[in-house]
Amino acid sequence: MRVHIATDHAGLELSAHLQEHLAAKGYDVVDHGPREYDAEDDYPAFCINAAAAVVVDQESGVSALGIVLGGSGNGEQIAANKVRGVRAALAWNLDTARLARQHNDANVVAVGGRQHSLAEATEIIDAFLEEPFSEAERHIRRIAQIAEYEVTGSIAAS
């Protein structure tokens, strides 16, 4: 599986750790930056580029997921969710990471680097990457409704 990763300055240490950890586990890791610490960096471009790469890969049949990191993960999740086809979820524990995949087929996870130890954040990321989508009809239906709104600006009443 290919994993696209991006961060802001607050998640840079976590990003470096995760890239090494995930590569050792056999993932094809693509770093969308930044490559060096800059307290004034602007994370949206990094996160949007990573999220867009996930969509391009998935649309071309490549198994891919994304990770966006920051101090809280909130802004990074918001930026990633601006990309059509992205379902980015903020995960703060193992359950939220697993449920994001099981129920929402999230293709990008956001984690706050200042909210967790390296060990905790790594466990959250591993849980997200290893959890499959449930394929339950109700979840497929709900995801389709979100995608419909994303494309058309309207949603059918249920």
- Residues across the chain: 158
- 9 as an active site residue: the answer is no
Three-state DSSP at 144 gives helix
From the list 13, 103, 123, 150, the catalytic residue is 103
From the list 4, 32, 76, 116, the catalytic residue is 76
Beta strand 88-90 pairing with 108-112? parallel
Strands of the sheet with 2-7, listed across from one edge: 28-31, 2-7, 64-70, 108-112, 88-90
- 130 as an active site residue: the answer is no
CA 136 vs CA 143, 146, 150: distances in Å: 11, 16, 21
Residues labelled catalytic = 76, 103
